[in-house]
């Protein structure tokens, strides 16, 4: 048996209930993992509220780190006793132990702790694909400006550091002066408090009126329209989340009027659809973390029993950097 956090119906944090669930043996292509720490992400909120529906009852959570307890037939890249970390479908990481597909589970280098591994996989792999793969049609070169919303969040702080490492001029937005200072301390070239400043005007000022080549936006509804106004001609609007709610329908003609813009809606799970792509992305993430160019900030830790409060704080935007649940 294993303690796990389940939802029986969509709703608020009060729907997160700790229950005992049976844990069996891994089947073909599966492993059983005993978690040491679990990552908290906004996608967990989407699952809890029903924005991304799950078959209920469901254990939620997409990210964790721990030790392999058992290996099913056909799994060759992992062995019992391996230290591992993952970001993976299906949801279910909010638990002590689980059986899951081995495809997206990666060996964790000795120089990276379980807590760091649990905090970094979903957010770090997201930053990796955004900066390395989701690029405007004209490409990105050192010195180019990009706009990154929620720059003091888990993905944002990793992206600030990684963008600086790549020579990009990242303009970050955040909702408080303290969060703006945090983004700057982690490599953002500029930071804009969107509650007190017009971020479109500031982006135009910073870029000499040109606009940015790409906007990376996990906020959604609240930032969408203004983000389009921050782009230069042929720029790319890269949506990868809906923290403020889904983007409402819009006419494609707007994209032509604003400069023949491109729009994409990305999700990590397309990028890690194969064992090979998952490992290649993880290797890139591990290397940049082990080099010290990117540091993983775990700013909040909650025992598994306090998962409801963790969700309340995340939704209230009281958190910065990464958040983990400890076991």
| CA proximity to 285, closest of 110, 33, 108 | 108
Q: Does 317 have pLDDT greater than 90?
A: no
Over residues 64-86, the pLDDT tens digits come to: 999 999 999 999 999 999 999 99
Q: For residue 187, is it left (φ>0), alpha (ψ between -120 and 50) or beta?
A: left
Q: What are the residues whose beta carbons fall under 8 Å from the beta carbon of 207, sequence distance 6 or more?
A: 145, 232
Cβ count within 10 A of residue 158: 31
Mean pLDDT of 128-135: 96
Domain boundaries, the chain: 2-124+269-326, 135-265
pLDDT band at 244 (very low <50, low <70, confident <90, very high): confident
pLDDT value at 103 more than 90: yes
Q: Which fold, 2-124+269-326?
A: Quinone Oxidoreductase; Chain A, domain 1 (3.90.180)
pLDDT at 99: 97
In this prediction, residue 321 carries a pLDDT of 82
Q: Is the peptide bond before 250 cis (omega within 30 degrees of 0)?
A: no
CB contact at 8 A, 315 and 154: no
Residue 133 pLDDT level (bands cut at 50, 70, 90): very high
DSSP strand pairing (63-71 vs 83-87): antiparallel
Residue whose entry in the numeric block shows the structure tokens 């000499």: 208
What's the distance, CA 179 to chain centroid?
A: 18
Low-confidence winner among 201-205, 213-217, 219-223, 291-295 (lowest mean pLDDT): 219-223
Closest CA relative to residue 71, chosen from 114, 95, 101, 109: 101
* 140-153: average pLDDT: 96
Query: Which strands make up the sheet holding 145-148, listed edge to edge?
Result: 190-193, 169-174, 145-148, 212-217, 231-239, 262-265
Residue 242 in this model has a pLDDT that exceeds 90: no
The rounded percent of the chain whose pLDDT value lies above 70 is 100
pLDDT at 76: 96
> Cα(149)–Cα(219) distance, rounded to whole angstroms?
7
In the block, which residue shows the tokens 């099913």?
72
Average pLDDT, the chain: 95
Q: What's the angle, vertex CA 234, arms to CA 149 and CA 187, rounded to 5?
A: 35
Per-residue pLDDT at 245 exceeds 90: no
Residue 247, pLDDT score: 87
pLDDT attached to residue 57:
95
Q: Which helix (H) or strand (E) holds 202?
A: helix 199-206
**pLDDT above 90: percentage of residues in the chain:** 91
82 by Cβ neighbours in 10 Å (0-12 / 13-18 / 19+) ranks as middle
pLDDT band of residue 243 (cuts 50, 70, 90) is: confident
Closest among 218, 165, 214 to 189, alpha carbons compared: 165
Could you tell me if 80 and 105 are in contact, meaning their C-beta atoms sit under 8 angstroms apart?
A: no
Tokens 């070239």 belong to 189
What's the pLDDT tens digit per position in 2-55? 999 999 999 999 999 999 999 999 999 999 999 999 999 989 999 999 989 999
Q: DSSP letters of 112-141?
A: S-HHHHHHHHHHHHHHHHHHHTS--TT---
pTM above 0.95, yes or no: no
Tell me how crowded residue 261 is: count the other CB atoms within 10 A of its CB. Answer: 20
What is the predicted pLDDT for the residue at 262? 97
Q: What is the pLDDT of residues 155-206, one digit of tens each?
A: 999 999 999 999 999 999 999 999 999 999 999 999 999 999 999 999 999 9
pLDDT greater than 90 at residue 233: yes
| Rounded distance between C-alpha atoms, residue 128 and residue 125, angstroms | 5
Q: Which residues pair with 217 in a beta bridge?
A: 239
- Decide: residue 317, CB within 10 A, 0-12 exposed, 13-18 middle, 19+ buried: middle
CATH superfamily of 135-265: NAD(P)-binding Rossmann-like Domain (3.40.50.720)
3-state secondary structure of 64: strand
């Amino acid at each position: 048996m294993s303690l796990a956090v389940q939802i029986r119906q969509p709703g608020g944090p009060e729907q997160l209930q700790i229950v005992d669930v049976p844990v069996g043996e891994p089947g073909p292509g599966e492993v059983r993992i005993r978690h040491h720490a679990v990552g908290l992400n906004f996608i967990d909120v989407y699952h809890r509220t029903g924005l991304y529906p799950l078959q209920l009852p469901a254990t939620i959570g997409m990210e964790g780190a721990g030790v392999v307890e058992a290996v099913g037939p056909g799994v060759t890249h992992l062995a019992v006793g391996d230290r591992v970390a993952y970001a993976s479908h299906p949801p279910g990481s909010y638990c002590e132990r689980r059986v899951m597909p081995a495809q997206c589970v990666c060996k964790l280098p000795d120089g990276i702790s379980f807590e760091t591994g649990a905090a970094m996989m979903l957010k770090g792999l997201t930053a990796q694909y955004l900066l390395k793969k989701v690029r405007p049609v004209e490409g990105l070169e050192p010195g180019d400006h990009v706009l990154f919303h929620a720059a003091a969040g888990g993905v944002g702080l990793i992206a600030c550091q990684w963008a600086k490492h790549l020579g990009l001029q990242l303009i970050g937005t955040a909702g408080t002066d303290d969060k703006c200072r945090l983004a700057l301390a982690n490599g953002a070239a500029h930071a804009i408090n969107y509650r007190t400043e017009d971020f479109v005007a500031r982006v135009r000022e910073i870029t000499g009126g040109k606009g940015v080549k790409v906007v990376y936006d996990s906020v959604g509804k609240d930032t969408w329209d203004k983000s389009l106004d921050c782009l230069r001609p042929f720029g790319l609007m890269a949506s990868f989340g809906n923290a403020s709610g889904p983007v409402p329908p819009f006419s494609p003609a707007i994209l032509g009027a604003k400069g023949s813009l491109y729009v994409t809606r990305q999700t990590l799970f397309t990028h890690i659809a194969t064992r090979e792509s998952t490992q290649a992305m993880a290797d890139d993430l591990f290397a940049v973390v082990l080099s010290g160019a990117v540091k993983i900030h775990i700013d909040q830790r909650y025992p598994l029993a306090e998962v409801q409060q963790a969700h309340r704080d995340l939704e209230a935007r009281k958190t910065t950097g990464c958040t983990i649940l400890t076991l």
